Amino acid sequence: MHLTLDAYSADKESLANKELIRNFLDNLPELIGMKKLAQAQVFEYDGEGNKEDWGYSGFVVITTSHVSIHTYPEKGYFAADVFSCSFFDYKKILSQFKKTFNFKTYEHQVIRRGLKFKRNV
Amino acid sequence: MHLTLDAYSADKESLANKELIRNFLDNLPELIGMKKLAQAQVFEYDGEGNKEDWGYSGFVVITTSHVSIHTYPEKGYFAADVFSCSFFDYKKILSQFKKTFNFKTYEHQVIRRGLKFKRNV
């Protein structure tokens, strides 16, 4: 199961807050019953000549899963992914993102994939 | 643009080779004209009681993008993602994955997302 989330008109201050992003990624797995393999990491992107495109890219690896986010504070946009071989409550995840980044307009997709693969759990 | 790849009957030795996975992730961005924000990282998952589910989770963060992989060596399966706000040659990426992990059966999806977002480049 794979959730993609593209949010517009999100809160600029939150998208530009490295610690908030790191804490969000660090705490999200537990909220949805998943276990981290490592601490979340957040990297800065300077926009490479396009200052308006600067932002943070964050990642947390969970057992057989991951959560990622790429933020564009100047444009109020972010793109996030939650991927897992297991089922998860994507509405709960969406509401956590919403609570933290306070966006109004968004698109999300729930993608079924790897359907021929059988996990033991 | 987002490429998802779910590959079955992949080469067990490659899926179980941490250094190979790390090198693959480290080299892929350049092959497709993307720039890394940090070195690739690979974490081991022990299967949590299901030994057959052990594997590696790796990712590399690229400018506004990422590549991730979750491998299940005992089952010959892996799930990978290549996500970017920019266009990329997904067929070239598929062939790189194929060359390295030598799978026959696979599913892939090319997902258009964040269409309302306008990047400067």
**ipTM for the complex shown:** 0.87
Q: Is residue B48 part of a domain?
A: yes
**SS3 letters across chain B:** CEEEEEEECCCHHHHCCHHHHHHHHHHHHHHCCCCECCCCEEEEECCCCCHHHCEEEEEEEECCEEEEEEEEHHHCEEEEEEEECCCCCHHHHHHHHHHHHCCCEEEEEEECCCCCCCCCC
B27 CB-near residues (< 8 Å, 6+ apart):
none
Summarised one tens digit per residue, pLDDT across range A12-69 is 999 999 999 999 999 999 988 888 999 999 999 998 888 899 999 999 999 878 999 9
Query: With left for phi above 0 and alpha for psi between -120 and 50, is residue A21 left, alpha or beta?
Result: alpha
Specify the number of domains making up chain A. 1
Structural domain includes residue B41: yes
**B6/chain A closest Cα distance in angstroms:** 5
pLDDT in tens, B23-59: 999 999 998 888 899 999 999 999 888 889 999 999 9
The reply to whether A2 belongs to the active site is: no
CATH assignment at residue B50: 3.60.90.10
**Would you say residue A20 lies in a domain?**
yes
How confident is the prediction for chain B on average, in pLDDT?
Answer: 92
Within-domain flag for A60: yes
State whether the Cα torsion A8-A11-A17-A20 is positive or negative.
negative
Q: Is the residue at A79 inside a domain?
A: yes
How many A/B residue pairs have CB atoms within 8 Å? Answer: 137
Which pLDDT belongs to residue B71? Answer: 96
Instruction: Kindly list the distances between the CA atom of residue A55 and the CA atoms of A22, A73, A108, A110, B79, in Å, as whole numbers in the listed order.
Output: 13, 6, 21, 25, 27
Q: Which domain holds residue B34?
A: 2-111
Would you say residue B118 lies in a domain? no
User: Which pLDDT does position B120 carry in this prediction?
Assistant: 58
- Residue A109 CB contacts under 8 Å (≥ 6 apart), including other chains: A3, A4, B111, B113
Q: Is residue A116 part of a domain?
A: no
Mean pLDDT of chain A: 92
Residue in A45, A85, A113 closest to B4 by CB: A113
Cα(A39)–Cα(A32) distance, integer angstroms: 16
Give A105 to chain B, closest Cα distance, Å: 10
Which residue in chain B has the smallest CA separation from A51?
A: B120
Mutate to test the interface with B, among A57, A60, A111 (most CBs of B within 10 A): A57
Among candidate residues A2, A85, A86, A108, the one labeled active-site is: A85
In a domain, A63, yes or no: yes
